[in-house]
Amino acid sequence: MSRLVFVTQQVDPQHPALAATVPKLHALARRFDEVVVLADGAVDGVLPENCRVRLFGSPNRVRRGRRYLGALAAELGERPDGVLVHMVPLLAVLAAPLVRPRRVPLLLWFTHWRRSRTLELAERMVTTVLTVDRRSFPLASHKVVPIGHGIDLAGFPCLAREPGPRLRALALGRTSPAKGYETIVRGAQLAGAELTLCGPSLTVEERAERARLEALGVSVGDAVPYASVPGLLMRNDVLVNNMREGALDKVVYEAAATCMPVLASNSGFDDVLPPELRFDRDDPADLAAKLTALEHVDRAALGAQLRAAVEARHSVEHWADEVARAVAR
């Protein structure tokens, strides 16, 4: 019987950051006889019958670590095909002394631009690093295997959009300076586009950035519940993303999956977005020109091409196939 142990923080289809983990677990459950999920917290009844959840959550960090290691050790008794740690390098580091001596593959899924000593240690201790693209993992490593982002195409269907009097641009995400929102705001103003900007402000830095953006004349909306994102995408004409190099925001692929044109500055999106849909990160005039050009093209046809690219390389089914292959290797 094939069995995968999957380690994550939360199993919650409404979680603002981790909701996409749920369809990934569904896809993995179609490829393994059993998926055992070790999580800090989980919502009941959202996973298939062949998924079993063990919780290790605790307000106390030391107790949480002990509970995690105890749960993992119990699941290693009957040797699983692999252990996959989702986005938390520390949990991979803690797992390695238990997993590696049993010759069980230990995999880390990680996609973020920020490097850390913990991540460096995790890279040395795991068998394989899974990520979206080689540019979405901040360390040079022969262990890196790019497998796409894992977008749930059923949750982000192709949507028909009614044209409005002005081009409707959308930007989503935390109000971090790394998101490059000022270029988006100024570019939209130069193009005469209607801009909707939504995202949480969770830190002092993000709250300061929110105030700075609002001083530029844009109203910044609150975080959008994950279930409401497809509807918000449907009500707009183009997503604009200006995240720094090395960070491949999932929302770009989600928007493209809905047949929505996307403008992005990050070169890492080049397997989905052609050159005419990318702009210079610090050049509002370049972005304005790209926005203006979109007013005169068949956006539905363009969006259909983007969805096809997501389906080929970034669907959740492709992602799960690649996880299974990595475990088998």
Region of 246 please: left (phi>0), alpha (psi -120 to 50) or beta. Answer: left
Give the start-to-end residue ranges of the domains of the chain.
Answer: 3-150+316-328, 168-312
Helix 316-328 × helix 21-29 angle, to 10°? 60
Digits of tens for pLDDT over the chain (329 positions)? Answer: 999 999 999 999 988 788 999 999 999 999 999 999 999 999 999 999 999 999 999 999 999 999 999 999 999 999 999 999 999 999 999 999 999 999 999 999 999 888 999 999 999 999 999 999 999 999 999 999 999 999 999 999 998 998 889 999 999 999 999 999 999 999 999 999 999 999 999 899 999 999 999 999 999 999 888 889 999 999 999 999 999 887 899 999 999 999 999 999 999 999 999 999 999 999 999 999 999 999 999 999 999 999 999 999 999 999 999 999 999 98
Residue 212 has what pLDDT? Answer: 95
315 secondary structure, DSSP code: B
Residue 244 has what pLDDT? Answer: 86
Residue 257 has what pLDDT? Answer: 98
Residue 128: how many other CB atoms lie within 10 Å: 19
Residue 226 has what pLDDT? Answer: 87
Residue 13 has what pLDDT? Answer: 92
Residue 32 has what pLDDT? Answer: 98
Identify the CATH homologous superfamily for domain 3-150+316-328.
Glycogen Phosphorylase B; (3.40.50.2000)
278 secondary structure, DSSP code: B
Residue 43 has what pLDDT? Answer: 96
Counts of helices then strands in the chain (DSSP H, E): 11, 12
Residue 139 has what pLDDT? Answer: 96
Assign 3-state DSSP to the chain and report helix, strand, coil percentages, each to 5. 40, 20, 40
Domain at 168-312, CATH from 3.40.50.2000, 3.30.590.20, 3.30.460.10, 3.40.1410.10:
3.40.50.2000
Query: At residue 256, what are phi and psi to the nearest 5 degrees?
Result: -60, -35
